[in-house]
Amino acid sequence: MSILKRVLLSRNKRRRTSPAPLSRPKIVSSPAADLRPIGVRGYRIRDAARAAERRREILTGAARAFARAGYDATNMDQIALACGLAKGHIYHYFRSKEEIFTEIRIAAVTRALERLSEVAPLAGRDPELALARAISGVVGRTFNEDERYEPLLPDPVSLSAENRKRIRELGRRYERMFARILQAGIDKGVFVPGDAKLMTFVILRAAFTVANWYREGGKWKPEWIVDEVTRQLVRSVKA
């Protein structure tokens, strides 16, 4: 057999006996991982529930700082100190103090709207009961850790026009709903005649000021304050 034939036969034999090349494993992304929410810095959040709780803690601590020093005089270092966190950690959840302040206001007014929406339908049947529950809901915010400082936070002029508008629109929705309760009572002769919008402003301002003078651990207990302030404010408009 010629040398050329022997070489060709050897090559064919190696081809038949050589193992097939290993194929690369396909990398399949996990759908669950892809659906995880993304934080403000672009990383995926591993524990959404824990992240939500940490955001709530930051908002509560920041509200204390804003109520103590005012929006313009409060910086991220003071917010971090009030929260007991490093400033860099706060930036994992919020981009700026304006974002924090806006979320505090939006979240608080949204919760207030939800509560008022539950009692407002009572106004058609019993306006006095509806008003009493609406007022007690406002006063009760003073004793809720997540909301007690929000009534003390006026909207600063340094806030962006967009965020001021968002907060203002929510606040006006709340005031209109509250005024409808009063108007229902005026129409039924339960409340004294008057401008329901003006009455709303007076009642809400009085209810909000509880946060200014309440002192935790004082002789007046939260339940008693809610009952007494509610009773006095309802009495102020009764016919």
Q: Is 9 a member of any domain?
A: no
Residue 17 has pLDDT above 70, yes or no: no
Within a domain: 36: no
22 within a domain of the structure (yes/no)? no
Give which of 169, 203, 187 is closest to 239, Cα–Cα.
187
Judged by average pLDDT, the poorest of 126-130, 156-160, 170-174 is 156-160
Selected residue with higher pLDDT from 39 and 120 = 120
Asked if residue 109 belongs to a domain, the reply is yes
218: pLDDT strictly greater than 90: no
Look at the block and give the residue holding tokens 């608080």.
108
User: What pLDDT is stored for residue 7 in this prediction?
Assistant: 43
Instruction: Determine the Cα–Cα distance for residues 166 and 47; give it in Å rounded to an integer.
Output: 29
Say if 224 falls within a structural domain. yes
Tens digits of residue pLDDT in 49-63: 888 888 989 999 999
**CATH number, residue 226:** 1.10.357.10
- Given a cut of 50, whether residue 36 has pLDDT beyond it is no
Domain extent, residue 162, equals 97-235
- Please give the pLDDT value at position 231: 97
| 29: pLDDT strictly greater than 90 | no
Angstrom distance (rounded) from CA 62 to CA 50: 18
On the question of pLDDT at 235 being above 60, the answer is yes
Asked whether the predicted pLDDT for residue 27 surpasses 50, the reply is no
Q: Is residue 60 part of a domain?
A: no
Residue with tokens 């959040």: 45
Distances (CA, A) of 204 to 178, 233, 236: 9, 10, 13
Residue 216 has pLDDT above 60, yes or no: yes
Residue whose C-alpha is closest to residue 175's, from 197, 202, 206, 160: 197
**Is 22's pLDDT higher than 90?**
no
If you average pLDDT over every residue of the chain, what do you get? 84
pLDDT greater than 50 at residue 229: yes
Residue 33 inside a domain? The answer is no
pLDDT digits (tens, 9 = 90+) for 65-108: 998 888 899 999 999 999 999 999 899 999 999 999 999 999 98
Percent of the chain past pLDDT 90, that is, above it, reads: 56
Max distance between CA atoms of the chain, in angstroms, equals 125
Q: What is the pLDDT of residue 58?
A: 93
In a domain, 134, yes or no: yes
- In this prediction, residue 15 carries a pLDDT of 52
User: How confident is residue 4, by pLDDT bands cut at 50, 70 and 90?
Assistant: very low
Name the domain count of the chain. Answer: 1
Task: Please state which of the ranges 5-9, 103-107, 110-114, 188-192 shows the lowest mean pLDDT.
Answer: 5-9
Q: Give residue-wise pLDDT tens across range 174-186.
A: 999 999 999 999 9
Question: Which has more pLDDT, 201 or 144?
Answer: 201
pTM of the model: 0.76
